[in-house]
């Protein structure tokens, strides 16, 4: 079975969050399941510079302004698979993230940039590469939402190519003014409630949700939540109507990148057997790196995150005066909204030695924080899956999370019962309030002092299995509902 995996991000070259991690890990796991996967990427600067030997596959005339667009094929570095690249420098060879320029504002032609991306996916489904034609298109997030719409508008001549669409974050709906619709070269009737129209706008994610044959999202709880008004961003009605084709499949941990036993960034890599010593060394290195005092008897709380309202870190800011009491410390690495960046930078000044903050993006510091912290805070308002709490579990940094989405599905709150059963792996709270966060922090602090209980929780956390193989089996099962017969 051949699957075209369409993604805007791919770790380590182009990544703004977990989407890039997933694109690096899920395709190899699918290949191990026997699925023939190729990626479709936009020719962002981050890819063009590093991909070896891009060969010409097709030159297509874009439906927008009639430009010629080159589709190339390159072996994926470090993998047995290949990636198609939409090599259209006028659209993609720009500085900044895939979505925005260096000043942080979205590119004004994003509808055309990601429209073309989806259109090329549909062309590949229609046979643009005679040497490899996908049996299934699998798109991820709004950036790929128009692919199934273009395919619906002009199906392949010899039959429908089924489509799967995965929601990694419904909050990013890919909205554009309704006035751009004529530029997208879709049939006029597609601009309707049964189509890409969303309250007078064009929504790329709605296109993905409406036109795809199967929908998935990245945790079972988020699959239920997005069918409710509180988490549905106005799309809950459509998602309820499509509940029968929607599945929640948990993300996994890419152990090639996140494994404390073989993590060269840690001063002393560790497994369950020597976690205490390994973590002590990591914590000391982290304290030095962020200018924290070399305290040992109180927990060190860490966070690695995009700084957006989603992540609930304003609750941490509000709780900081109490958090740093009693010798507790906080280490944060993040970037994003400037008000949050400034507030955390100011907190680091104010609580010098107890709060260490690095504003920016830094893979190696991310590993040191996850390795060197006792607790990883993820107080998100919503969290489709969340990867940092999974990395934290594996590194024996117990996650303290808000009980939503994938956080609820992956962390077992320490209660009298879960502790007695030996299944507790972290801490969870419900209310969107600093006091709810702080009472969970107080519970964690109390247990931290019960060394034996804490170490039992660490062992349990480190041995939980969040493998991509399990996720790949579930995706392959979704594919098989669409293509029951094995294909050549």
Q: Which residues bind ligand GLC (CB under 6 A)?
A: 17-19, 22, 168-169, 218, 251, 383-387, 406
Binding residues for ligand ADP restricted to 1-40, rule: CB under 6 A: 17-18, 21
In the complex, which residue's CB is closest to ligand GLC?
18
Dihedral sign computed on CA atoms, order 275, 279, 280, 285:
positive
Q: Are 386 and 377 in contact (CB under 8 A)?
A: no
Question: Closer to ligand GLC at the Cβ: 17 or 175?
Answer: 17
Which of residues 296, 326, 363, 421 is near ligand ADP by CB under 6 A?
A: 363
Q: Which is nearer to ligand ADP, 378 or 424 (CB)?
A: 378
Residue 487 · residue 2 · CB < 8 Å: yes
Secondary structure element (H or E) that encloses residue 335, with its range: strand 329-336
By CB under 6 A, name the one of 171, 361, 474, 476 that touches ligand ADP. Answer: 361
Least distance CB 319 / ligand ADP (angstroms): 20
Among 122, 387, 424, 471, binds ligand ADP (CB under 6 A): 387
Contact between 388 and ligand ADP by CB under 6 A: the answer reads yes
Q: Are 141 and 172 in contact (CB under 8 A)?
A: yes
Which position among 27, 267, 334, 405 is part of the footprint of ligand ADP (CB under 6 A)? 334
Cross-strand pairs, 135 = none
Which of 85, 107, 108, 89 is closest to 98 using CA atoms?
107
Assigned token pair, 86: 């939409």
Which one of ligand ADP, ligand GLC, none interacts with residue 388, CB within 5 to 8 A by kind?
Answer: ligand ADP
**Which stretch, 225-233, 314-322, 380-388, 408-416, contacts ligand ADP (CB under 6 A)?**
380-388
Q: Coil, helix or strand for 59? A: strand
d(CA 307, CA 332): 10
| Nearest-angstrom CA–CA distance, 458 and 425 | 7
Is 478 a binding residue for ligand ADP by CB under 6 A? The answer is no
| C-alpha–C-alpha distance, residues 382 and 405, integer Å | 6
148 counts as binding ligand ADP under rule CB under 6 A? no
CA angle, residues 355, 359, 361, in degrees to nearest 5: 125
Q: What's the token pair of residue 24? A: 């690096």
> For residues 195-234, which are near ligand ADP according to CB under 6 A?
none
Rounded Cα gap, residues 133 and 258, in angstroms: 34
Of the residues 255, 335, 415, 418, which one makes contact with ligand ADP according to CB under 6 A: 335
Name 175's bridge partners. 203
CB closer to ligand GLC out of 251 and 425: 251
Residues 415-426, buried b or exposed e (16+ Cβ, 10 A)? Answer: eeebbeeeebbb
Task: Indicate which of ligand GLC, ligand ADP, none lies near residue 98 (CB less than 5 to 8 Å, by partner kind).
Answer: none
Task: Work out how close the CB of 41 gets to ligand GLC at its nearest, in angstroms, rounded to a whole number.
Answer: 17
- Given ligand GLC, ligand ADP, none, residue 76, with its beta carbon under 5 to 8 Å by kind, binds none
Instruction: Give 441's DSSP letter.
Output: H
Query: Shortest distance, CB of residue 21 to ligand GLC, whole angstroms?
Result: 7
Nearer to ligand GLC, 169 or 203 (CB): 169
Strand order in the sheet with 427-429: 355-359, 329-336, 300-307, 375-378, 398-402, 427-429
From the list ligand GLC, ligand ADP, none, pick the one residue 218 interacts with, judged by a Cβ distance below 5 to 8 Å according to partner type: ligand GLC
Residue 366 binding: pick among ligand GLC, ligand ADP, none (C-beta 5-8 Å cut-off by kind): ligand ADP
- Only one residue has tokens 């395919």, namely 151
Closest distance to ligand GLC from the beta carbon of 309 (Å): 12
Phi and psi torsions of 203, nearest 5°: -120, 120
Give residue for tokens 């579990």: 393
Report what 115 binds from ligand GLC, ligand ADP, none; CB cut-off 5-8 Å by kind: none
Work out which of 23, 54, 207, 304 binds ligand ADP, going by CB under 6 A.
Answer: 304
Nearer to ligand GLC, 39 or 275 (CB): 39
Distance CA(437)–CA(379), nearest Å, equals 7
Shortest Å distance, C-beta 21 to ligand ADP: 5
Which residues make up the interface to ligand ADP (CB under 6 A)? 17-18, 21, 304-306, 333-335, 361-363, 366, 385-388
């Amino acid at each position: 079975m051949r699957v075209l995996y369409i993604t805007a991000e791919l770790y380590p070259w182009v990544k703004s969050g977990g989407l890039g991690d997933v694109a690096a890990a899920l395709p190899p796991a699918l290949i191990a399941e026997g699925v023939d996967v190729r990626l479709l990427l936009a020719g962002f600067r981050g890819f063009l510079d590093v991909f070896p030997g891009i060969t010409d596959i097709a030159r297509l005339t874009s439906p927008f302004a009639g430009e010629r667009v080159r589709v190339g094929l390159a072996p994926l570095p470090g993998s047995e698979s290949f990636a198609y690249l939409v090599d259209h420098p006028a659209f993609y060879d720009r500085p900044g993230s895939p979505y925005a320029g260096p000043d942080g504002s979205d590119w004004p032609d994003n509808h055309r940039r990601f429209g073309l991306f989806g259109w090329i996916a549909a062309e590949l489904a229609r046979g643009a590469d005679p040497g490899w034609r996908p049996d299934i298109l699998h798109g991820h997030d709004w950036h790929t939402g128009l692919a199934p719409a273009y395919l619906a508008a002009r199906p392949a001549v010899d039959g429908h190519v089924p489509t799967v669409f995965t929601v990694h974050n419904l909050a990013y709906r890919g909205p554009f003014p309704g006035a751009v619709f004529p530029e997208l070269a879709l049939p006029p009737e597609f601009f309707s409630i049964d189509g890409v129209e969303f309250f007078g706008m064009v929504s790329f994610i709605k296109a993905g949700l409406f036109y795809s044959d199967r929908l998935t999202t990245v945790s079972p709880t988020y699959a239920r939540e997005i069918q409710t008004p509180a988490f549905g961003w106005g799309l809950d009605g459509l998602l309820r109507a499509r509940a029968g084709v929607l599945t929640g499949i948990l993300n996994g941990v890419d152990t090639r990148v996140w494994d404390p036993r073989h993590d060269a960034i840690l001063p002393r890599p560790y497994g369950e057997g020597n976690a205490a010593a390994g973590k002590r060394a990591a914590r000391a290195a982290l304290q030095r790196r962020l200018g924290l005092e070399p305290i040992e008897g109180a927990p060190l709380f860490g966070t690695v995150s995009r700084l957006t309202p989603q992540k609930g870190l304003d609750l941490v800011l509000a709780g900081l005066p109490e958090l740093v009491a009693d010798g507790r410390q906080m280490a944060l690495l993040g970037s994003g909204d400037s008000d949050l960046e400034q507030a955390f930078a100011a907190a680091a000044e104010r609580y010098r030695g107890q709060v260490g903050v690095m504003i920016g993006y830094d893979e190696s510091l991310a590993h040191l924080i996850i390795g060197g912290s006792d607790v990883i805070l993820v107080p998100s308002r919503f969290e489709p899956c969340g990867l940092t709490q999974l990395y934290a579990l594996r590194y024996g940094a117990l996650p303290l999370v808000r009980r939503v989405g994938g956080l609820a599905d992956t962390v077992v709150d320490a209660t009298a019962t879960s502790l007695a059963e030996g299944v507790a792996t972290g801490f969870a709270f419900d209310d969107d309030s600093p006091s709810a966060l702080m009472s969970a922090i107080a519970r964690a602090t109390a247990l931290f002092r019960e060394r034996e209980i804490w170490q039992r929780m660490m062992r349990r956390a480190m041995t939980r299995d969040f493998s991509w193989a399990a996720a790949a089996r579930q995706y392959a099962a979704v594919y098989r509902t669409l293509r029951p017969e094995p294909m050549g």
